Amino acid sequence: MRKDVNREVEFAMNLFREYYRRTPPPAPADLREREFGFMFFDRDFVKRHTGFLEENDFRRFLLNQVPSHAYYSTALYERPAAPTMDLKGWKGADLIFDLDADHIRGAEKLSYQDMLVLVKKEAMALLDRYILGELGFDERYVRICFSGGRGYHVHVHHPKLLALGSHERGEIIDLVTGTDLNMELIFPSAASMRKDFKDRTVVKRSYSLPEKDQGGWLRFGRQTAEKVANEIGVMSNDGLRQRYPSLQKVKDQVLNDMRQSLFSQRGDSTGLDLMLRNDSLEYLTSDRARDSDHLKELFMQMVLETLKERMSGQIDEPVTRDVKRLIRLPGSLHGKTGLRVVTLTREQMDDFDPLRDAVPEAFPSTPIKVHLKERTDVRIKDFRVNGEGDQEVPTYAALFLVLRRWAALC
């Protein structure tokens, strides 16, 4: 059912239509085997189960129908336009990672601009640590896309991955998120009995660090332990308490003892090995030092807290697991921002600024008067919107503000 078209809808549709006329998105690989889905400014329904035989048909649809959102299937089908999933004839699916601000802790407290900075940082970490790093995918098979909204999509298209089912994709999720991670496998511990300096029998526990040449979460564990040790060496006690919730009630003397045990020998991983493995160090057996086991356990708690930050997931797990998903079409426009879904290389991500680089060149800079509904401060392309009430802004900025519902046309 078509909606009544108001000024804002007509304004957006005209700009979207001009964009699709001048710079139509390239058709996806395997066009004839992909299902497409669309949402519209002037209609209340989602159109799915659409297929195209030729690129001209695909482009003509975008120009004539002017969707607010355009999607295509991560899967390949024998009959992508079939009306039900059972009839489509599934042939395989790309491996997809979706990282959105909704899944990043603390993003909800940030401005839109700062949120985009944070989500890009997390997307680059996902790529470097796992997709291009631990999983070792060749960048030739990896497509990175800014979603046009609040996140990034990573498509891995390789013949050997197409047949992976939901279970196998779930195993990849477990690696990335650290699900059910066994800390004993990363930091094996052993207990021994000994006499303390008062001739009391005590049970001492020691831990082993993973070797430097090991991979996966073993390498992450070692890197994390070294990172925590370095923070203990350079941060104040108050800074450590702010950084680690487990230290809120720990006294200065305990933190000083831990710092001494790490760095009284050498300021590198050798000192870390000594603290975790030795039953006691000379300093720690003094009357004023805390029990070495207590320091080890406290240190390991700090390591676990830091590892949990890495285990937080960050990705939208159902997207990766789903073998019949629709994902945003690269080169299309996002109906809630007017920004392009931009395809990037990993190197291009470093300097990529969505509010500058995802604004379509097809959008004019002609001044338009808008009414800002509340105080707004955002830079779009080369124009800063700052204030509230009636203002003149470039057309490209007006579209962004209207679609974000921060402003109305005057």
pLDDT in tens, 202-250: 666 777 888 877 777 788 788 888 888 889 888 999 999 998 888 988 9
The neighbouring-strand residues paired with 153 are 98, 145
Q: Averaged over 342-362, what is the pLDDT?
A: 96
The residue with tokens 């999509």 is 153
Q: Which pLDDT value is given to residue 2?
A: 56
CA distance 18 to 32: 26
CA distance 229 to 271: 9
Q: Which of 172, 398, 205 is nearest to 292 (CA)?
A: 205
CA distance 370 to 391: 6
pLDDT in tens, 16-54: 999 999 999 999 989 999 999 999 999 989 999 999 999
Angle made by CA atoms 322, 25, 381, in degrees to the nearest 5:
100
Q: 306-343 in b/e burial notation, b at 16+ Cβ within 10 A?
A: bbeebbebbbbbebbbbbebbbbbbbbbbbebbbbbbb
Catalytic residue, chosen from 98, 257, 279, 322, is 98
Q: Which of 176-190, 198-212, 260-274 is the least confident region?
A: 260-274
Q: Check if 98 is active-site.
A: yes
Q: How confident is the model at residue 103 (pLDDT cuts 50, 70, 90)?
A: confident
Q: Which pLDDT value is given to residue 246?
A: 84
Please say whether the beta carbons of 135 and 215 come within 8 A: no
Catalytic residue, chosen from 94, 279, 316, 322, is 316
Q: Can you give the residue ranges of every domain in the chain?
A: 7-176+315-363, 183-310
Q: Which pLDDT value is given to residue 271?
A: 58
Q: Quick one: tokens of 260?
A: 């001494």
Q: Which pLDDT value is given to residue 259?
A: 85
Distances (CA, A) of 110 to 101, 116, 150, 233, 333: 10, 9, 12, 31, 24
- Topology of the domain covering 7-176+315-363: DNA primase, PRIM domain (3.90.920)
Q: Is 296's pLDDT higher than 90?
A: no
Catalytic residue, chosen from 94, 100, 279, 322, is 100
CA distance 262 to 186: 20
If DSSP codes are grouped into helix, strand and coil, which group holds residue 390? strand
Q: Averaged over 147-176, what is the pLDDT?
A: 92
Q: Which pLDDT value is given to residue 273?
A: 62
DSSP E strand stretches across 208-344: 326-328, 342-344
Q: Check if 291 is active-site.
A: no
Q: What one-character DSSP code corresponds to residue 129? A: I
Half-sphere exposure of 320 (CA within 13 A, CB side): 23
